[in-house]
Amino acid sequence: MIYVILLVIAALAMVVIQKSFAKAAASDDLSTLSKGQLKQNIAYARMVAKNNGDEAKRAEAAQTIERLQAELDRREAG
């Protein structure tokens, strides 16, 4: 029973991360994302880049990682 609950929570968390990632990938304005969301999106994009067989998707994920990391670095610096 506990495992089912944990599985449901993990699935819901993944949906939230995917929505946030889609928002970041589609938007030029990353100021609406928190530092935590930026970090989650970077981790998700790395997973996509690593596990996706489609070269175009990997390139898009790599580009998104660069944008997100630059925004995160900017916020942490100042």
C-alpha 58/C-alpha 55 separation (Å) is 5
pLDDT digits (tens, 9 = 90+) for 31-76: 878 888 889 888 888 888 888 778 888 888 888 889 899 999 999 9
Q: Is the pTM of this model over 0.95?
A: no
d(CA 17, CA 54): 21
Tell me the two tokens of residue 28: 């030029």
> What is the rounded distance in angstroms from the CA atom of residue 30 to the CA atom of residue 72?
9
